[in-house]
């Protein structure tokens, strides 16, 4: 419940307390989940559309809750953000993912999603640097995925974060491109090495002549600026052909693989190396 004035505060107080209680409960559960090993980082391959080979993996968190079953990030990341747990959780995810990635071949990259709140927390850059240093992962193999909503509130902290980490070789990708407040000024302002086109342009009911034209325009922009363009959510061979033909360089989606545990990611890589 959103609360504006004093009178509404009174009116909504009981449900607010309930909301708050629920949030506190999940917050405590989330913190405990990290310690109890209920969380796990999965990896979804990002495939070179030209060669068909895996170029990297995106880390995606999963929560295996003892009573509620498998929870997807959309069900708990927003709460982790609201409660601030995302800072601890985000550093844990980066550390876990970096440990797995350090065992992959040197030319395979690791992408990790960053929440806006994580960037603004004190010591944010240090949390990431420590995670990769401890894992022994070269900074040039790490790519941080950020969304436009993060760049929207043009904070000095955001700018410093991106520039400091870029300076040591960490890469940045603009995630979910085409949703929300897409502004090309972000592409101009920040040193992105990748643009990830949101899956609503690639598969699903809205795909057609217009989305195809948009993908082509973004792909052309990418090729002129030397950026990889990733098509997210490719589910069929037809979609793979369409996005490759439109100029995307990389693809990610169920057609290639869902996100899998680290041992399965290693098997996918071994299979790639045999071909
Ligand atoms: P995202 O960063 O856009 O990640 C891609 C999402 O699309 C993943 O959902 C992935 O499983 C799903 N996906 C991939 N290929 C396909 C496909 O072909 N078809 C369909 N329908 N879906 C596909 P997931 O894992 O449920 O994650 C949802 C969102 O939660 C992510 O969207 C990201 O914003 C957030 N998230 C996930 N893991 C983390 C994390 O470690 N940290 C943070 N801050 N956010 C995370
Ligand atoms: Ca992402
Ligand atoms: Ca995305
Ligand atoms: Ca997303």
Q: What are the pLDDT digits (tens) for 83-138?
A: 889 999 999 999 999 999 999 999 999 999 999 888 888 888 999 999 999 999 99
Counting from 1 in the atom list of ligand 1, the atom nearest the Cα of 198 is: 3
The Å distance, Cα 60 to ligand 1 centre, comes to 6
Q: How far apart are CA 75 and CA 70, in angstroms?
A: 10
The interface predicted TM-score (ipTM) is: 0.97
pTM (whole model) above 0.80:
yes
Give the model's confidence band at 157: pLDDT under 50 very low, under 70 low, under 90 confident, else very high: confident
Cα of 232 vs centre of ligand 3, distance in Å, is 6
Q: What percent of the chain has pLDDT over 90?
A: 66
**Spatial CA neighbour of 58 closest among 138, 117, 119, 113:** 113
- Taking CA atoms, 157 is separated from 82, 121, 122, 137, 271, in Å, by 19, 9, 9, 25, 42
Residues with CB under 6 A from ligand 1: 44, 59-61, 72-74, 77, 90, 93, 113-115, 145, 175-176, 199, 233-235, 252-254, 259
pLDDT (mean) for 158-173: 94
Q: Please tell me the predicted confidence (pLDDT) of residue 16.
A: 67
Check residue 275 and give its pLDDT. Answer: 78
pLDDT band at 233 (very low <50, low <70, confident <90, very high): very high
Give the tokens for residue 132.
């990769």
Residue bearing tokens 């760049």: 151
Among all bound ligands, the one having the nearest atom to the CA of 230 is 3
10 Å CB burial of residue 221 (0-12, 13-18, 19+) is middle
- Give pLDDT, residue 14: 63
Pairing of strands 39-48, 54-65: antiparallel
What confidence score (pLDDT) does residue 4 get?
46
**Which residues lie across from 197 on neighbouring strands?**
177, 231
Is residue 11 scored above 70 in pLDDT?
no
Best probe residue, ligand 1, of 40, 44, 57, 60 (max atoms within 8 Å of C-beta):
60
Strands in the chain per DSSP E: 39-48, 54-65, 69-71, 109-113, 142-146, 171-177, 194-197, 228-232, 250-252
């Amino acid at each position: 419940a959103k609360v504006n004035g004093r009178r509404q505060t009174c009116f909504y107080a009981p449900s607010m307390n309930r909301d708050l209680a629920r949030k506190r409960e999940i917050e405590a559960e989330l913190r405990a989940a990290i310690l109890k090993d209920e969380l796990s980082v999965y990896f979804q391959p990002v495939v070179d559309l030209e060669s068909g080979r895996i170029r990297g993996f995106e880390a995606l968190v999963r929560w295996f809750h003892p009573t509620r079953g498998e929870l997807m990030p959309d069900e708990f990341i927003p709460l982790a953000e609201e409660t601030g747990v995302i800072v601890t959780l985000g550093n844990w995810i980066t550390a876990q993912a970096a440990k797995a990635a350090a065992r992959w071949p040197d030319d395979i990259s690791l992408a990790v999603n960053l929440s806006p709140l994580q960037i603004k927390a004190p010591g944010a850059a240090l949390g990431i640097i420590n995670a990769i240093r401890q894992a022994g992962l070269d900074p040039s193999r790490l790519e941080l995925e950020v969304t436009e909503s993060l760049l929207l509130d043009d904070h000095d902290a955001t700018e410093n974060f991106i520039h400091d980490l870029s300076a040591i070789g960490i890469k940045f990708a603009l995630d979910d491109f085409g949703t929300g407040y897409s502004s090309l000024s972000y592409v101009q302002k920040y040193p992105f090495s990748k643009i990830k086109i949101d899956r609503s342009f690639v598969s699903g009911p809205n795909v057609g002549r217009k989305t195809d034209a948009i993908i082509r325009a973004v792909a052309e922009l990418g090729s002129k600026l030397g950026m990889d363009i990733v098509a997210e959510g490719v589910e069929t061979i037809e979609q793979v052909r369409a996005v490759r033909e439109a100029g995307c360089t990389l693809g990610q989606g169920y057609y290639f693989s869902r996100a899998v545990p680290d041992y399965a990611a290693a098997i996918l890589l071994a299979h790639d190396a045999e071909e």
